[in-house]
Structure 1
Amino acid sequence: MGKNLFIGIDVSKAILDVGVIPTEEVKRFTNDADGCKALISWLSEIEP
């Protein structure tokens, strides 16, 4: 069975703060189209 991966996103008007468990990675993205594209790209690279 695969490992669990949990992603939390704190959303504000200008910023998306993203945390990943169990890797403890934290990143910040702008809350606009470019930031969302970067977030999706980053998440697609994470492996549990």
Structure 2
Amino acid sequence: MGKNLFIGIDVSKAILDVGVIPTEEVKRFTNDADGCKALISWLS
């Protein structure tokens, strides 16, 4: 059976702060096209 992950994203004009539960990983990305690509890559 798969593992459930919950992702929270705090959005500001310049930054996306991302937290993952239950792993407690936290990462920051720029709020632009490159940052969104990096976020998707990190979550994949």
TM-score range, shorter chain: over 0.9
Number of residues of Structure 1 aligned to a counterpart in Structure 2: 44
Further displaced range: 18-27 or 1-10? 1-10
Give the TM-score, by structure 1 length: 0.87
Further displaced range: 1-10 or 11-20? 1-10
CA shift, 1:4, in A, is 1.0
What RMSD in Å do the two structures reach over aligned CA positions? Answer: 0.6
Give the TM-score, by structure 2 length: 0.94
Query: Identity of counterpart residues, as a percentage?
Result: 100
Q: Give 5+ residue unaligned stretches, structure 1.
A: none
CA shift, 1:40, in A, is 0.4
